[in-house]
Structures are given as structure tokens and as C-alpha cells.
Amino acid sequence: AKRIVLAARPVGEPKPSDFRIEEFAVPTPGQGEVLLRTIWLSLDPYMRGRMSDGPSYAAPVPIDGVMEGEAVSEVAASNNPDFAKGDIVRARTGWQTHAISSGKGLIKVDPKLGPISTSIGVLGMPGMTAYTGLLDIGKPQEGETVVVAGASGAVGSAVGQIAKIKGARAVGIAGGKDKCDYVVKELGFDACIDHRDPDLAAKLKDACPKGIDVYFENVGGAVFEAVFPLLNPFARVPVCGLIAHYNDTEAKPPKWAASMMRATLTKRLTFRGFIVSDFAARHGDFLRDMSAWVREGKVKYKEFVTEGLESAPGAFMGLLKGANFGKQLVRVGQD
Ligand code: NDP
């Protein structure tokens, strides 16, 4: 068996030497335990936060600890009456090929809802983040304009498509022409702009002739600076992620904090940060709606797969820079 541990806390961008691959004997499940064989590992931007020991909503991975993450696994052996050999489950077992579980936190995956990988993608945590952040905080109304960056990614792609289902105008922001073409032509957004375009602010303004009513914040940085002046009175900003800043080594002084606060007051803006687990009570609604939308072709998704556990560090470093085109997954074992 193999696992990837945190070898060092990154300073700025993570680098290969911050990770270490180790071999270990496949463990034997004890009384009440199951042995899990990992099939799919999800890589997600929040893992950058777990690599640092600064203040956060969750504890960091310890040095030499297995990198955290959610995976879809097969029950390879079971001493737990609730799980049978061959069951497909998802759990936070981390970056490793095998894991032991007491059964706590283990969730059975219903293969009837879709391919099992979707339980950590569009029908899992990223999909739920899009659904709750947009509907419970963003509250898009018919005819309003919703803007989201990372528009070809796991969360952003679902945000724009749900906005369309609710009758809003969806404007995406993504890195490069291929991603923008996909977002408009395949996902049905009304427009998509490359965030590396030097005319980002002007092009965004053209794409949002009636201003912005909901800005689903995934990135921060230059994108936020282009969005902010276009926010309409009573606009809502679900603050979901700030990927442009995850590798920052120091807090940047708030250059325009005063004008931002003035606009928040005069335009009566709502900014609300959230972590998807805040909305755990909405999981049933999410799964019902999202699985129906996926089945009906109203929400499409794209997976970006790298092969083998060894590929995880490189794939994760790429994810922070836009090397992924779709939900980043690692195929750790065969289905
Ligand atoms: P994605 O699949 O969207 O992958 C990350 C993408 O971020 C990259 O592909 C890249 O896309 C984009 N990106 C990276 N740097 C920048 C930058 N400087 N400016 C603009 N875009 C950038 O990841 P997810 O969908 O999994 O996550 C999206 C966001 O949602 C993240 O911020 C994440 O932390 C957050 N999140 C928050 C949760 C919560 O509970 N609050 C839960 C899940 C996710 P491109 O090539 O288009 O630039």
C-alpha cells in the first residue's frame, strides 16, 4: 500500500519536496472495522489551507501526517455488520491506497445516482457548495446577472448552470480560450471572460450591461477588483473561496478598504462567507435537485483525471494554477 504525507509546510506555492510518498503494509481490519481500497481521490483547493498551520476553520495536517482528502473506495474486507465486502463508500480517508475505518463517517454511495466518481464531484461536496452558496446566499432572481470565476471548474461550472435554471444571466470567468469556449458552448453560460485578459474590467462590464446582482466569489485578486465596481444595489456576494490568495505569504494591506465599505453601505451589499458544512441540513434537497438536473442534462460536468496516487502532488500543484480543466480527480485504483 502507498500513502502521501506532508513532508514540509509550503512557503508560497507548494513544491514536490513538500510531499513524500511512503509504502506500508496493507492493514488488517480489527473488530468492527472495515478495510477500504481507494478508487477515486478528490483533490480540492482547500487542501492548501490544511498544509499551513495558520488560523483556519479546520486543523492543519501534521508534518508526516497523511494528506487529507475525500475518496470513493470499495470495502475490501469487513468486520462491521453495516458494510459488506464490495460496497462502494465515500469517506475522508486521505491520500492513500488503503485505509481502515470504524465505519464512522463512512457514507454508502448509490451507484444508481450516477458514476461513483460524481459522489465527490457534481453530486458531492463541490456540487453542494455551488448549490447552497448560490441558492441560500446568492438567491438569484429571474433576469438578474450572476458572475462566477473558476467557471469551468467543479464549483463554478455548477454555479452558472444553476443560475441559468433559475432564469438568471450567467457570466463566467475562466483561464484561457478553451475553458471559456467550453463554458459558453457546452455549459450554456451567456458569456465567459478570460481573467488573464488585460481588458478584463472593460470586457466584464460589456458582458454585464445591467450590472451584477450576484457575485459568487471563488478567487479574489484581480477578478474581484474588476467585479466590485459593477455590483448593483442590494447585490449578494457568497464568499466561497479566494484561490488567488492561497499561496500568499503575507496579508496585503487593504488599499481600498474605505471605498469598499462606503459602497457596501450606500449600495446595501451583502457579503457572506460560508463553508459548505454550514448547510448540512440542505443535503437532501441538494441531492434530489442536483441528481435530477444531471439526469435531465440541465447540469453538465467535466472530470479531469490523473492516473495513480503518485500523480496527486503534481495534480494538486496544477489545480492551484488552473492546469485542471474540470473537477480534479486521481484514479488511485480500478473500479
Ligand atoms: P476548480 O475546479 O475551480 O479549480 C481551481 C481553479 O481556480 C483553477 O482551475 C483555476 O481556473 C482557478 N484559479 C486559480 N488561480 C486563479 C486566479 N488567480 N484567478 C482566477 N482563477 C484562478 O476548484 P473548485 O471548484 O474545487 O473550487 C473553486 C473555489 O471554491 C476555490 O476557491 C475553493 O477553495 C472554493 N471552495 C469552497 C468551499 C467552501 O465550503 N467554502 C468548498 C469547495 C470549494 P482557471 O484556469 O479558470 O483560472
ipTM field:
0.99
Grid cell 464531484 — which residue?
A: 121
Q: Taking 80 as the threshold, does the pLDDT of residue 80 lie above it?
A: yes
- Determine whether the shortest distance from the Cβ of 48 to ligand 1 is under 6 A: no
Give the pLDDT of residue 250. Answer: 87
* Ligand 1 geometric centre to CA of 324 (Å): 10
Ligand 1: residue of 47, 128, 155, 183 to mutate (most ligand atoms within 8 A of CB) is: 155
Atom from ligand 1 closest to the CA of residue 323: 9
Atom from ligand 1 closest to the CA of residue 49: 34
Q: Taking 90 as the threshold, does the pLDDT of residue 73 lie above it?
A: yes
Per-residue pLDDT, averaged over 106-112, amounts to 94
Entry pTM: 0.98
- Determine whether the shortest distance from the Cβ of 121 to ligand 1 is under 6 A: no
- Determine whether the shortest distance from the Cβ of 137 to ligand 1 is under 6 A: no
* Ligand 1 geometric centre to CA of 312 (Å): 17
Ligand 1: residue of 243, 246, 325 to mutate (most ligand atoms within 8 A of CB) is: 243
- Determine whether the shortest distance from the Cβ of 78 to ligand 1 is under 6 A: no
Q: Taking 80 as the threshold, does the pLDDT of residue 254 lie above it?
A: no
* Ligand 1 geometric centre to CA of 166 (Å): 23
Give the pLDDT of residue 255. Answer: 82
- Determine whether the shortest distance from the Cβ of 217 to ligand 1 is under 6 A: no
* Ligand 1 geometric centre to CA of 25 (Å): 35
14-68 pLDDT per residue, tens: 999 999 999 999 999 999 999 999 999 999 999 999 999 988 999 999 999 999 9
Ordered by start, the domain boundaries in the chain are 2-121+302-331, 125-282+286-294
Supply the CATH classification number for the domain 125-282+286-294: 3.40.50.720
In Å, what is the CA distance from 88 to each residue of 39, 62, 303? 9, 28, 19
Cell of 324: 485542471
- Determine whether the shortest distance from the Cβ of 244 to ligand 1 is under 6 A: yes
Give the pLDDT of residue 53. Answer: 94
Three-state secondary structure string covering the chain: CEEEEECCCCCCCCCHHHEEEEECCCCCCCCCCEEEEEEEEECCCCHHHHCCCCCCCCCCCCCCCECCCCEEEEEEEECCCCCCCCCEEEECCCCECEEEECCCCCEECCHHHCCHHHHHCCCCHHHHHHHHHHHHHHCCCCCCEEEEECCCCHHHHHHHHHHHHCCCEEEEEECCHHHHHHHHHHCCCCEEEECCCCCHHHHHHHHCCCCEEEEEECCCHHHHHHHHHHEEEEEEEEECCCHHHCCCCCCCCCCCHHHHHHHHHHCCCEEEECCHHHHHHHHHHHHHHHHHHHHCCCCCCCEEEEECHHHHHHHHHHHCCCCCCCEEEEECCCC
Contact 144, 170 (CB under 8 A): no
* Ligand 1 geometric centre to CA of 320 (Å): 7
Per-residue pLDDT, averaged over 207-215, amounts to 98
Q: Taking 80 as the threshold, does the pLDDT of residue 265 lie above it?
A: yes
Give the pLDDT of residue 176. Answer: 98
The mean of the pLDDT values for the chain is: 97
Give the pLDDT of residue 251. Answer: 82
Which residue's alpha carbon is at the smallest distance from atom 17 of ligand 1? 244
Supply the CATH classification number for the domain 2-121+302-331: 3.90.180.10
Binned at pLDDT 50, 70 and 90, residue 230 comes out as: very high
Lowest mean per-residue pLDDT among 125-134, 213-222, 248-257, 285-294: 248-257
Q: Hey, what's the torsion of the CAs at 171, 173, 177, 178, to 10 degrees?
A: -90
Ligand 1: residue of 218, 302, 328, 329 to mutate (most ligand atoms within 8 A of CB) is: 218
